[in-house]
Amino acid sequence: MIFVISGIVYFWYTATKLGMSKCEHCIVRQFNSLNTLTREELVRVSACKTGRVVKKGDIIFREGEALNGIYCIREGVCKLTKLSENGKDQVVKLSVKGGMMGQRSLVSNECSNLTAVALNDMQICFIPKQEILDDLQKNVNFSMDLLKRMAQDLRDADDSLVDMAQKTVKQRLAETLLYVKNKFDNDADGYLALTLSRDDYASIVGTATESAIRILSQFKKEGIISTKGKQIKIEDEQALKRVE
Amino acid sequence: MIFVISGIVYFWYTATKLGMSKCEHCIVRQFNSLNTLTREELVRVSACKTGRVVKKGDIIFREGEALNGIYCIREGVCKLTKLSENGKDQVVKLSVKGGMMGQRSLVSNECSNLTAVALNDMQICFIPKQEILDDLQKNVNFSMDLLKRMAQDLRDADDSLVDMAQKTVKQRLAETLLYVKNKFDNDADGYLALTLSRDDYASIVGTATESAIRILSQFKKEGIISTKGKQIKIEDEQALKRVE
DNA sequence: TACCTGATATGACAAATATCATATATTAAT
DNA sequence: ATTAATATATGATATTTGTCATATCAGGTA
């Protein structure tokens, strides 16, 4: 008898982990376009979506792959990268809890131009394209919200481009540290709550791993940051903002 | 009597130049989202739009300025730039005949994040926001088309970012020359049909003017291009593609 | 524990790029 | 046509960044 109960509990636990709980009750949707769906639309979407647990380092989808739907991030963080001709990956964006991925493939019907890799353990939901495309056509709120978010993404992309073109590696790295601080905050010990490898930092900034390490070392010497293994603590935020 | 006719002819000429000819009869709309409007919508839009002649070097709108509508380019080319903190302008995009500007401000209701400067003499039309916003809500084809184009712009932005982060100035300049060749073709003498200043090239590539000039000189020495004043002729396209 | 592997760290050097100075060519204005 | 203003060109040099080599460290595993 005890086993049966255990079995049920385990099933419920797995189901929850796999994102099979209902969209209507999921709080993360308030951060994305799904929030514009009506209750009926949401129930229908919920019925056809699938959940998935992704471990740190796992690839969610690859550049060039056909995405037959969109992903909604329930928990965790991932990086969206693009392979350059020189063989190095460039991080284009970080996607976090509440974020969606694959909207572009949804509207343009093309393969993904980016690869998504989990930076920590994640829970994501997948909504098949045919289910959501219909809503896009019929629910003006939904399409308008998507338009707004894409417009914002384009602004962000412009900003990134200008930074990449006009700022030094040191400035970009300082900005990245501030970005991580603002977006993910500190943990209980004051270290950045999102821990990235030096290699990830280099790939975000668009530089060689050694260069990123060197500059972090310099920041450390100057007392701007301190480190404990991979972890980084910002000691002097103002100094980071002043980096030239 | 002859003067009256002359007056009429002049009026017609001016009206045409100022873009007061009707959208329904304008061929450039087939290159942009306006093509998805119904005949009635188009007639209404046509009635409220205003035309404008812009001279080379003129500013169409500035970063931070409120755009109370969208622009449709009837003729000519302009650059969309963003001012970096270091005081240099970075070209984010070139917009050409048939292109539209200000869609982002349309959907997000924010000020422009870019400045538009004419690279040659232009004719542009301006459609007030309130007129077109309504169509965006009601015509699914229109909003879907806009979504598709924004998705494509985002892809392009990703590509630009990776190039900026991972390629050398020489590679980016070579790519820019190829881009201009493909997008604007050559003139009768074989020179690039779009003539840009060395400063513009530098601002597209994201480098110092001197560096752009130096690399163009090097290309010239190597026989990859030839020049006549500002004008550039690509002599060896394959070599440009091979630049490392 | 000892070992192995991958990440972090640093030095030495080479290559790429920016900056400053100055010269020359081109264009615009008078 | 002459001059002034601007754009193009090039040298000299400093700074930034990448590459390769090597050392050290941390976490996982037998």
Average pLDDT for runs of 10 along chain B of length 244: 46 52 91 95 94 94 96 97 95 97 93 97 95 93 96 97 98 98 95 97 98 98 95 97 93
Using the predicted structure, report yes or no on whether residue A241 has a pLDDT greater than 70: yes
Looking at per-residue pLDDT, the higher value among B2 and A81 belongs to: A81
Name the domain boundary from A134, A164, A194.
A164
Q: Name the band, by pLDDT with cuts 50, 70 and 90, for residue A2.
A: very low
CATH number where B81 lies: 2.60.120.10
Regarding whether B219 and B128 lie in a shared domain, the answer is no
Regarding whether B185 and B119 lie in a shared domain, the answer is no
Using the predicted structure, report yes or no on whether residue A1 has a pLDDT greater than 50: no
Q: Can you give the residue range of the structural domain that contains A28? A: 2-164
- Beta carbons of A151 and B108 less than 8 Å apart: yes
Determine how β-strand B69-75 pairs with β-strand B122-128: antiparallel
Note the pLDDT of residue B18.
55
Strand D neighbours (CB under 7 Å) are: A 86, 168-170, 206-208, 210-211, 229; B 197-199, 209-210, 213-214, 216-217, 227, 229-230
**What kind and span of H or E run contains B159?**
helix B140-166
Regarding whether A159 and A80 lie in a shared domain, the answer is yes
Regarding whether A178 and A157 lie in a shared domain, the answer is no
Within A34-99, where are the H helices? Answer: 39-48
Question: How many distinct structural domains can be found in chain B?
Answer: 2
Reading the block at residue B15, the tokens are: 């009206």
Note the pLDDT of residue B3.
46
Best CA proximity match to A162, nearest among B160, B82, B95: B82
Note the pLDDT of residue A21.
81
Name the domain boundary from A164, A182, A199.
A164
CB B66 within 8 A of CB B111: yes
CB burial of A148-179 (b: ≥16 within 10 Å; e: otherwise) equals bbbbebbbebbebbbbbbbbebbbbbbbbbee
**Percent of chain A scored above 70 by pLDDT?**
92
Note the pLDDT of residue A14.
56
Interface probe, candidates B164, B167, B169, B175, chain A, greatest A C-beta count within 10 A: B164
CATH number where A201 lies: 1.10.10.10
Provide mean pLDDT across the span A30-48: 94
**Percent of chain A scored above 90 by pLDDT?**
89
Determine how β-strand B100-101 pairs with β-strand B59-61: unpaired
Regarding whether A9 and A112 lie in a shared domain, the answer is yes
Q: At what angle do helices A209-221 and A198-205 cross, to 10 degrees?
A: 110
- Measured CA to C1', the nucleotide nearest A211 is D17
Q: Quick check: helix, strand or coil at residue B122? A: strand
Note the pLDDT of residue A4.
46
Regarding whether B78 and B11 lie in a shared domain, the answer is yes
Note the pLDDT of residue B8.
47
Regarding whether B187 and B77 lie in a shared domain, the answer is no
Regarding whether A108 and A56 lie in a shared domain, the answer is yes
Note the pLDDT of residue B21.
81
Note the pLDDT of residue B16.
56
CB of B210 nearer than 7 A to strand C: yes
Regarding whether B86 and B132 lie in a shared domain, the answer is yes
Reading the block at residue A223, the tokens are: 């007392």
Name the domain boundary from B112, B131, B164.
B164
